[in-house]
Amino acid sequence: MRHSSNLFFWILLFPILCISVGSSVFLVHGYYAQANMTLEKSKLSSAREPIVLHFSQFMRPESFAGKIILSEATPFSAHWQNENKTLILTPLTAWPIIDSFRLSLGQGKTKYLANSTPSNFTLATQNIPKIISISPLSESRDVVLGIEDPLKIVFEQSVKDFYIDFRIDSKTVAVKKINSEKTIFEALPETPLLAGKQYTLDIYAKWKGENDDSYIPLSHSTFTTLDPPPLAWNTDLFLRVEEAKKFTPAKKLTGKYIDVNLASQVMTLFEDGKAVDSYIVSSGKPGMETSKGEFAIRNKADRPWSKKYGLYMPNWMALVPSGLFGIHELPEWPGGYKEGANHLGTPVSHGCVRLGIGPSKRVFDWAEIGTPVVIY
């Protein structure tokens, strides 16, 4: 009877022992299995977005001392969360503006002294701003920067997360127009460039909100401005106007007509063979020269909009029926920026004859539709 009782006892105890041993083996295996890690996000979308890593087991943070390495030497702080199963790396400065960089973690220890698997990760940042085109092209000659021909930089995609800096000979250039997508920038120097001089154009970028010392170079190019006017014409524009009024021969002896001398860049108003006023103008630049010949004022408008150039043309006087070119005041961007008078006396337009603010109003009021215009 006693033998039967013992046998019955062991029959009941055996499954419990099997379960207990199996559980112990499972727990021991779980405690001492090698730990793995995963990267939460491989694309960083902002300058200081943290890197988050998840571990399959509870880790010993001190075992990773000196074993967290970035291919770019960006300083960072390391914080553990979730009972040391989550590691957060927070940059102390902005992440580098490059396409990607590497994160390496050496072998660490779990809470139960098992090893972790050494791992390498590739992290992508916001794409570095890529330039599609720059105007003027590098090594261009006879360049005249103006409201119709500003510096123009086109990016492959929006640079809304960056500040872009343009510098001519290390001096900052003022941005005058940016399209809504922030892919096209148009800019002009704050002060006029010297004629016949080579300049360098450098373009830089940095993350928004970061210090100026974090700018990185995107492009370097050179260009040379147009040579000064011939010495045959007085470089003092006031004296040149007076000389033109005194020495320009009348080509029509009756009624009103407008005389435009492209060589001297002077317009003279004649009435009944007598010069009544002269003004410095700016005609078409090389390659887009103002047409020579005899024309007439075809139509007039106070401040029409040029769809082709995205500019206002105050005191417009068309010289051909199509309105392809005419006489007008210095053009104006929608934001109110008006090109300075420093280009008067130099051919820089796209074919039109430009006048200063006061002279353009005088000519606009003086010339009726039909008034002859002689350009030579």
The correct answer on CATH 2.40.440.10 for the domain covering 237-375 is: yes
Residue bearing tokens 């250039």? 173
Find the length of the chain.
Answer: 376
CA distances to 60, 128, 134, 184 from 156, rounded to whole Å, are 45, 10, 12, 9
| Position 290 confidence tier, pLDDT thresholds 50, 70, 90 | very high
Rg (CA), the chain: 37
CA angle, 101 as apex, 57 and 128 as ends, to 5°? 135
**pLDDT above 70: residue 2:** no
Separation CA 278–CA 257 (nearest Å): 12
Give the model's pLDDT for residue 213. 86
Residues of the chain with CATH 2.60.40.1220: 131-225
- Tell whether the torsion through CA atoms of 295, 299, 302 and 305 is positive or negative: negative
Looking from the CA of 341 toward its CB, the CA atoms found within 13 Å total 11
pLDDT at residue 22 greater than cutoff 50: no
**Quick one: tokens of 54?**
């998840």
Write out the residue limits of the CATH 2.60.40.3710 domain(s) in the chain.
37-124
By the 8 A CB rule, do 44 and 125 touch?
yes
131-225: CATH architecture = Sandwich (2.60)
Rounded to two decimals, the pTM is 0.67
Question: What number of other Cβ atoms are within 10 A of residue 333's Cβ?
Answer: 18
Phi, psi dihedral angles at 303 (to 5 degrees):
-155, 65
Q: Which of 63-72, 135-144, 146-155, 224-233 has the lowest average pLDDT?
A: 224-233
What pLDDT, on a 0 to 100 scale, did the predictor assign at position 125? 80
127 or 331, greater pLDDT: 331
Among the residue ranges 176-185, 253-262, 340-349, the one predicted with the least confidence is 340-349
More confident residue, 250 or 125: 250
More confident residue, 26 or 140: 140
- Separation CA 356–CA 339 (nearest Å): 10
| Omega before 136 within 30 of 0, i.e. cis | yes
Question: Which pLDDT belongs to residue 339?
Answer: 79
State the fold for domain 37-124: Immunoglobulin-like (2.60.40)
Read off the pLDDT of each residue in 65-75 and give the average, rounded to a whole number: 91
Confidence check: pLDDT of 203 > 60: yes
Q: Where are the beta strands (DSSP E) in 100-215?
A: 100-105, 109-110, 119-124, 131-135, 140-143, 151-155, 162-168, 171-178, 184-189, 198-207
Is the pLDDT at 169 greater than 60, yes or no? yes
Instruction: Return d(Cα 165, Cα 202) in angstroms, integer.
Output: 8
pLDDT in tens, 327-369: 999 999 988 888 777 889 999 999 999 999 999 999 999 999 9
20 pLDDT more than 60: no
pLDDT at 25: 41
Give ranges for CATH 2.40.440.10 in the chain: 237-375
Q: CA-based angle 27:28:33, to the nearest 5?
A: 100
Q: How far is CA 111 from CA 65, 84, 85, 88, 108, in A?
A: 15, 9, 10, 18, 10
Would you say residue 31 has pLDDT above 60? no
Mean pLDDT of the chain: 89
